């Protein structure tokens, strides 16, 4: 079978790899689409500490069950499914206390073992969830990042009519905006440096700030009389986002750290102190949240379809990371079509 494999820093190849029979308790999935995630970009760069070449990348995949070995967990051959890609140890403190999604030894399909940018992948049947009818597979490939957004909004203790600002209009930032809008936010402001992404946000009804022209903090201060918004979601993962995130928040407001910061950052802690700001952080999502999101995506499918800006066939995917990195392409969410005759 064909698979897109990471073979070394800044090098991926579409290769023929063996098709391994599903182990007991597993199903073989004929993959239709697989989303490209920021973590895949990190693997491609050669900087991911756990990804070892050769590796079939991809954890945002959906497809059709072709074979089941043993326990089916209510599934049938022919079911369209999404795969919960997290693998936890089951014995650490986080796992023992019901938070296995922040397991100290957390592993992911597509990072620690072969993933879904391939024609086929094997998964445990207890990690598979049926896709909603009448939602295209190319949209369902966004279930995994949508689950991140759902978890982030819950972690932030958002309440209907809260106002919010989002730093970074990448796929996660835009998805958080859509979840906030659907959940009753009174105001949503998103900042970014990409004009095409900001235009997409405006089409969704969000206020936008071009952070190359004006700081988000200054815009929020100007439009709230200096009071700020209830919640800020930092989704950029860059130093400027961390430096900015305390300024737009109201007294006793919440900062939700969503973007991954792998280096020390400068943060105005005096803002945290004098305004008694609150902070939380998110990593991924609970398995139940992933299950709920497989149904929830049907409600947002029209909006999410607009986020999927590019669909690239598996056999043409070797240049996908260069394509995403080129600003002129204005890519937001890119998905790989893993099946030649895949629909939607």
Segment 65-88 mean pLDDT? 96
pLDDT at 340 over 90: no
Residues 151 and 137 both lie in one domain: no
Question: Sorting pLDDT into bands at 50, 70 and 90, what band is 247?
Answer: very high
Q: How far is CA 200 from CA 308, 311, 336, in A?
A: 11, 18, 21
Whether 287 maps to a domain, the answer reads no
Q: pLDDT tens, 211-238?
A: 999 999 999 999 999 999 999 999 999 9
Selection from 102, 69, 41 nearest residue 325 by Cα: 41
Structural domain span for residue 237: 147-281
Shared-domain flag, residues 137 and 151: no
- Give the integer Cα–Cα distance in Å for 317 and 320: 5
Q: Let me know whether 82 and 49 are in one domain.
A: yes
What percentage of residues in the chain have a pLDDT greater than 70? 99
**DSSP for 175-215?**
HHHHHHHHTT-SEEEEEES-HHHHHHHHHTT-EEEETTTS-
Q: Mean per-residue pLDDT for 246-268?
A: 96
SS3 140: helix
Look at residue 273 and give its three-state secondary structure: helix
306 and 262 belong to one structural domain: no
The percentage of the chain sitting over the pLDDT mark of 90, rounded to a whole number, equals 98
212 domain residue, yes or no = yes
Residue 259 has pLDDT above 80, yes or no: yes
Q: Is the pLDDT of residue 159 over 80?
A: yes
Q: What is the CATH number of the domain that holds 218?
A: 3.40.50.720
Cα 338 to Cα 323: distance, rounded to the nearest angstrom: 18
Give the mean pLDDT of the chain.
96
In a domain, 40, yes or no: yes
- The yes-or-no verdict on residue 136 having pLDDT over 90 is yes
In a domain, 105, yes or no: yes
Whether pLDDT at 114 is above 90: yes
In this prediction, residue 342 has a pLDDT band, given cuts at 50, 70 and 90, of low
- Asked, for residue 289, whether it belongs to a domain, the answer is no
Per-residue model confidence (pLDDT) at position 341: 74
Check whether residue 205 and residue 270 sit in a common domain.
yes
Q: Is the dihedral of CA 33, 39, 45, 47 positive or negative?
A: negative
Looking up residue 45, the CATH number of its domain turns out to be: 3.90.180.10
Q: Tell whether the model's pLDDT for residue 286 goes beyond 70.
A: yes
Q: Are residues 75 and 158 in the same domain?
A: no
Q: What pLDDT shows up at residue 343?
A: 65
State whether 26 and 96 are in the same domain.
yes
Q: Are residues 177 and 236 in the same domain?
A: yes
Our count of domains for the chain comes to 2
Q: Both 135 and 155 in a single domain?
A: no
pLDDT at 344: 66
Q: Are residues 237 and 258 in the same domain?
A: yes
Sheet holding 55-56, edge to edge: 11-16, 2-8, 55-56
User: Does residue 180 have a pLDDT over 70?
Assistant: yes
């Amino acid at each position: 079978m064909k698979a897109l494999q990471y073979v070394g820093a800044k090098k991926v190849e579409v290769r023929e790899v063996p098709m391994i029979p599903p182990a007991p308790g597993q199903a073989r999935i004929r993959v239709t689409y697989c989303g490209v995630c920021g973590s895949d970009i990190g693997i491609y760069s050669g900087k991911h500490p756990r990804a070892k070449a050769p590796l079939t990348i991809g954890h945002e995949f959906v497809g059709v069950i072709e074979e089941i070995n043993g326990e089916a967990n209510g599934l049938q051959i022919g079911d369209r499914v999404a795969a919960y890609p997290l693998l936890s140890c089951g014995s650490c403190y986080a796992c023992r206390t019901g938070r296995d999604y922040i397991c100290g030894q957390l592993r992911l399909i597509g990072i620690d073992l072969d993933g879904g940018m391939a024609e086929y992948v094997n998964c445990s049947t207890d990690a598979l969830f049926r896709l909603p009818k009448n939602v295209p597979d190319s949209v369902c490939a966004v279930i995994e990042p949508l689950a991140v957004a759902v978890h982030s909004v819950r972690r932030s203790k958002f309440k209907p009519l809260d106002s919010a600002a989002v730093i970074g209009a990448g796929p996660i930032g835009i998805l958080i905006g859509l979840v906030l809008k659907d959940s009753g936010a009174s105001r949503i402001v998103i900042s970014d440096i990409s004009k095409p992404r900001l235009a997409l946000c405006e089409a969704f009804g969000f206020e936008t700030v071009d952070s190359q022209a004006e700081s988000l903090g200054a815009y929020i201060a100007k439009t709230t009389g200096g009071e700020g918004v209830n919640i800020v979601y930092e989704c950029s993962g860059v130093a400027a986002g961390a430096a900015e995130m305390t300024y737009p928040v109201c007294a006793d407001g919440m900062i939700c750290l969503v973007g991954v910061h792998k280096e020390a950052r400068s943060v105005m802690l005096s803002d945290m102190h004098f305004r008694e700001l609150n902070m939380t952080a998110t990593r991924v999502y609970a398995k139940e949240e992933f299950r709920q999101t497989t149904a929830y995506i049907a409600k947002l499918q029209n909006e999410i379809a607009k986020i999927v800006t590019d669909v690239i066939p598996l056999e043409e995917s070797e240049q996908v990371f260069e394509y995403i990195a080129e600003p002129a392409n204005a890519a937001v969410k890119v998905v790989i079509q893993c099946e030649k005759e895949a629909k939607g």
